[in-house]
Amino acid sequence: MSGILDNQTKLVRSFANDFRKAIERALEADRLCRTVIGSFPSGCCGYTSDLLQRYLAEKGIATQYVSGTYRDCSTNDSQSHAWLELTDGTVVDITGDQFRNKPRPLQNDSPVYCGKPNDFYNLFELDPPCEYEGTYSMNIDRKEKEAYDIICKHL
């Protein structure tokens, strides 16, 4: 059974890398600047996770959208982050490197992470996860669809 899960994780990692590269190509072509992920990877982990979740769903891979908040009690600062998880709890995150310049313990320079929750992900107080539904409000759906269509052209 673990071999099947390992194969799924490898497949998902490959899809996540491909999706991240497509976003980077679209950014280089200046195609995403006016979309919900125009500042990728910074400040758009939620939208990016939505888009990746849709892509993986189209590939037949079920995920949950996970978000949480890190609270630094010493400074009263907080930071939110979002990513996906597979049914076995494997984290799928293509925006973790937005934290590359943050101080420890929040520092993370991994552009694509696909693995068990590590110290970084364990820092976050989690909200309830969300399954992929494929339907959102009209305004969000239109904005995300625009970004998704551009990314798909670069896959």
| CA dist list (Å): 120 to 3, 60, 72 | 26, 28, 13
147: pLDDT strictly greater than 60: yes
pLDDT at position 73: 77
- Both tokens assigned to 16: 């996540």
pLDDT digits (tens, 9 = 90+) for 42-67: 999 999 999 999 999 999 999 999 99
Higher pLDDT, 134 or 1: 134
User: Which fold, 2-143?
Assistant: Secreted effector protein ssei fold (3.10.670)
pTM over 0.85: yes
| CA dist list (Å): 12 to 9, 48, 72, 131 | 5, 15, 32, 17
Domain assignments of the chain as residue spans, ordered by start = 2-143
Residues ≥6 apart with Cβ < 8 Å to 115? 9, 90, 91
- Both tokens assigned to 76: 């009263």
pLDDT at position 2: 54
Average pLDDT, the chain: 90
pLDDT at position 77: 83
pLDDT at position 98: 96
Average pLDDT of the residues in 55-81: 91
